[in-house]
Amino acid sequence: MTQDSPILKVSNLVKHFPITSGGIFQRTTGAVKAVDGISLEVFPGETLGLVGESGCGKSTAGRTILRLLEPTSGSIEFEGQNLIKVSKRELVFMRREMQMIFQDPYSSLNPRATVGDIISAPFQVQGVKPVGGLRSAVGDLMERVGLNPEHFNRYPNEFSGGQRQRIGIARAIALQPKLIVCDEPVSALDVSIQAQILNLLADIQNDFGIAYVFVAHDLSVVRHISDRVAVMYLGQIMESAPSELLYTEPLHPYTHALLSAIPIPDPDLERNRERIILSGDLPSPSNPPAGCVFNTRCWKAEDKCRSERPVLREISMGHQVACHFPEQNLLETISIAPTGTDFIA
Amino acid sequence: MSETDEVLLSVRNLYVEFSTDDGLVSAVNDLSYDLKRGKTLAIVGESGSGKSVSSMALMGLVAGMNAKVSGEVYFDGQQLVGADPESVRKLRGDRMAMIFQDPLSSLHPFFRIGDQLVEAVQVHHDIDKKQAQVRVKAMLERVGIPDVDQRMNEYPHQLSGGMRQRVMIGMSLINNPELLIADEPTTALDVTVQAQILELLKDLQKEFGTAIILITHDLGVVADMADEVVVMYGGSAVEHAPVREIFYEPAMPYTWGLIASIPQISAKHAHLDPIPGNPPSLINLPSGCVFAPRCTFKHLVSDGLCENERPQLLPVSPEHTSRCHLTQNQRTDIRRERLIGRQK
């Protein structure tokens, strides 16, 4: 990391979806608080993992960051420019620098366009004329992501899920953006294919120095690819830390529970560890609990947690947590790192 | 359970084929295994490996899909393949039950939760509605549904994913089946809810002595739940062993690849070792080993044996079989060199 200024700085980002009722004269009767005041920074060439369970607002956050959804309030600074203030026309121009990879490789590619059309679309939309011509640029991109350039004229339905995800990646890197938001890019794929795509994303990042915001629910995948990780719950960031620190010394009870819930593919380790089983389900984001949003499922909740919302504060270098009673000395209790075994996969 | 060592389900040389417009799809090829009472057998594989179809076939659920099922399936001594559909229907939901991946599409959207479960009881037992309701209520309480009286009057869409899966589990266990087939029971759920459901399944298994066939692609879930594991690829069982041996002494390249391609929560940043290529089409299966086109070790076997001859499922240790042409020594060397499994 050569520069110290973040490429993306999000402050107090809020995205509420109004709930309306009444036929013609619609009244707003409430709001789904999908993203409720998150702040984060992404530095050039690094990967920020955004994890959480379904309904925590991680995908909405990813989309709002690119202004694919209009934020309710807050600010998004991309290379020092506030995205919220720029006009639609300027925004189109700025999208050159920020791209997205979607979860579903089936619905995110136009079934009636050839692969060549799909990958050359960014050049045409942005009016960019690549050196050496469009055709050869697209061929290079296809080769870069591991597709056969001869398949230029094929349609998406002729490709497997993993190959389609490669098409989506080629499209995203076509204009050499500085930031890509990856929304669950591997969760629709089989494990053996998942690993291929994760490696490809890592290689591309090394080659082009692209920063990723990697939105996913799978904590193992996120650990693998991220430099820093932010854990979301009901529209808020509960904890954010460098990847290693978050996984070995989680401070928030929710992070702790989330990590302990993941089954480890090692029978001896898996069957001999203590597991925290959270009771209940995620509360509704249209009516989040007062105080700390996690208090209804937290085993440490006290009166203060039910009345006062904890702010995200820095506990140690780069390690932030939003909890009144952050955990300590978790290393012994959760023991997710294999001790004494030499199981390597 | 006094009869814990008794084999409840015995599958021998099971084949399932579908005739489609594109040709004959061989979804399951020569699958055999035994399942003892109260034990859990995990069937692991990627999409299209035949793991779900094999289990649906033994429940008689592929009929009417242009399917041809052959081989033998003995459930408590009764042969199910080719049996009268009515007699298999009587077993289904009573002595053997199934949980599906997606609880929303497996519950009927028009009927109240309580009514659906009451029906499941009454289909198999000659008891009146009142008695059935008592039983349903007790079961729903057992699987952890809060406010049961109210929930019984609700429709499936009013419940969260985790709740629905609890209802499904309750429904499948309501007649105290001896065999439960759980097809990706937690794949659609979040990890914290998955942990709840797996814990519940383990408790219920202990309580009722149910044998479970767990179909999954998640090796973490396998490590947590299974006694024995069958790894399937391209419609065939490629490896079959007790759970510890699958993880600590995996015997063939596909299993190695599967283990090496999962990012581990406990491991550091490292390049993953994916399996190259894509899973095979089940229409034109390779004539040799089904995994040969993707195998990175086939050059170690002479005469192109891997491409030409389908390997047999042969023992590598008393309870452990695998399908591979590599010699024992070659496998031991590769495991040591690549740090696969547990190193001695």
CB B222, CB B214: distance < 8 Å: yes
pLDDT at B269 over 80: no
* 3 state DSSP class of A242: strand
Range of the structural domain that residue A279 is part of: 242-336
Query: Which of A84-93, A277-286, B84-93 has the lowest average pLDDT?
Result: A277-286
Tens-digit pLDDT profile for residues B156-183 = 988 888 888 889 999 999 999 999 999 9
The answer to whether residue A53 sits within a structural domain is no
Backbone angles phi, psi at A120, to 5 degrees: -85, -10
Q: Who's near A329: CB < 8 A, 6+ residues apart?
A: none
State both tokens at B114: 């309580």
Higher pLDDT, A213 or B145: A213
Tell me how close the Cα of B242 comes to any Cα of chain A, in angstroms.
11
**Averaged over A156-173, what is the pLDDT?**
92
The answer to whether residue A71 sits within a structural domain is no
**Averaged over B303-332, what is the pLDDT?**
94
State both tokens at A120: 């050359």
Q: What is the pLDDT of residue B30?
A: 93
B102 touches chain A (CB under 8 A): no
Q: What is the pLDDT of residue B188?
A: 78
The answer to whether residue A322 sits within a structural domain is yes
Tens-digit pLDDT profile for residues B109-123 = 999 999 999 999 999
H helix or E strand, kind and range, residue B181: strand B179-183
Chain B (240-269) residues lying within 8 Å, Cβ to Cβ, of chain A:
243-244, 247-248, 257-269
Which segments of chain A are extended strands (E)?
8-21, 27-42, 47-51, 73-78, 81-82, 98-101, 179-183, 211-216, 228-233, 236-242, 313-316, 319-321
Q: What is the pLDDT of residue B20?
A: 86
Show residues of chain A in contact with B161, CB under 8 Å.
54
**Integer CA distances (angstroms), B240 to B50, B230, B245, B326, B332, in order:** 15, 4, 9, 16, 17
Chain A (60-99) residues lying within 8 Å, Cβ to Cβ, of chain B:
none
pLDDT at A238 over 90: yes
Spatial separation of the C-alpha atoms in residues B87 and B77, rounded to whole Å: 14
Spatial separation of the C-alpha atoms in residues B42 and B56, rounded to whole Å: 15
The answer to whether residue A301 sits within a structural domain is yes
State both tokens at A38: 């998150």
Q: What is the pLDDT of residue B240?
A: 97
Residue B77 burial (10 A CB sphere; 0-12, 13-18, 19+): exposed
Q: Residue A3's pLDDT band (boundaries 50, 70, 90)?
A: low
The answer to ipTM > 0.90 is no
Query: Which of A31-40, A59-68, A183-192 has the lowest average pLDDT?
Result: A183-192
Q: What is the pLDDT of residue B279?
A: 84
Radius of gyration of chain B (CA): 21
**Integer CA distances (angstroms), B133 to A325, B114, B144, B150, B175, in order:** 45, 7, 17, 13, 13
Q: Do B272 and A224 touch (CB under 8 A)?
A: yes
Q: What is the pLDDT of residue A70?
A: 93
What is the DSSP pairing of strand A47-51 with strand A27-42? unpaired
Give the closest of A220, A282, A337 to B262, CB-based: A220
Chain A (287-326) residues lying within 8 Å, Cβ to Cβ, of chain B:
none
Task: Note the residue count of chain B.
Answer: 344
Chain A (130-189) residues lying within 8 Å, Cβ to Cβ, of chain B:
160, 162-163
* 3 state DSSP class of B18: strand
The domains of chain B are located at: 7-231, 255-337
pLDDT at B266 over 70: no
State both tokens at B344: 């001695």
CB B40, CB B212: distance < 8 Å: yes
The answer to whether residue A327 sits within a structural domain is yes
Tens-digit pLDDT profile for residues A71-115 = 999 999 999 899 999 998 899 889 999 999 998 888 899 999 999
Tens-digit pLDDT profile for residues B6-58 = 899 999 999 999 988 888 899 999 999 999 999 999 999 988 899 989 999 98
Cα of A314 vs its chain's centroid, Å: 21
Q: Residue B268's pLDDT band (boundaries 50, 70, 90)?
A: low
Q: Residue B263's pLDDT band (boundaries 50, 70, 90)?
A: confident
What's chain B's average pLDDT?
90
Domain B7-231 in CATH 3.40.50.300? The answer is yes
The answer to whether residue A192 sits within a structural domain is no
Q: What percent of chain A stands above pLDDT 90?
A: 64
DSSP lists the bridge partners of residue A77 as A9, A82
Show residues of chain B in contact with A243, CB under 8 Å.
269
Q: What percent of chain B stands above pLDDT 90?
A: 61
State both tokens at A272: 């001999």
The answer to whether residue A151 sits within a structural domain is no
Q: Residue B344's pLDDT band (boundaries 50, 70, 90)?
A: low
State both tokens at A19: 């709930």
Q: Do B263 and A336 touch (CB under 8 A)?
A: no
B190, B194, B248: which to substitute to probe chain A, counting the most A Cβ within 10 Å? B190
A147, A151, A192: which to substitute to probe chain B, counting the most B Cβ within 10 Å? A192
Helices A253-261 & B191-208 angle (0-180, nearest 10): 50
pLDDT at A342 over 50: no
3-state helix, strand, coil in chain A (%, to 5): 35, 25, 45
DSSP lists the bridge partners of residue B18 as B25, B67
State both tokens at B17: 């084929």
pLDDT at A254 over 80: yes
Looking at the structure of chain A, the number of domains it has is 1
DSSP lists the bridge partners of residue B240 as B230, B321
The alpha carbon dihedral of B277, B279, B281, B284 has a sign of positive
State both tokens at B179: 């065999």
The answer to whether residue A154 sits within a structural domain is no
Tell me how close the Cα of A219 comes to any Cα of chain B, in angstroms.
7
Chain A (189-248) residues lying within 8 Å, Cβ to Cβ, of chain B:
190-196, 198-199, 202, 217, 219-221, 223-225, 243-244, 247
B150 touches chain A (CB under 8 A): no
A265 touches chain B (CB under 8 A): yes
Q: Who's near A214: CB < 8 A, 6+ residues apart?
A: A47, A48, A49, A50, A182, A185, A222, A225, A226
Q: What is the pLDDT of residue A51?
A: 94
pLDDT at B331 over 50: yes
Give the closest of B223, B264, B343 to A220, CB-based: B264
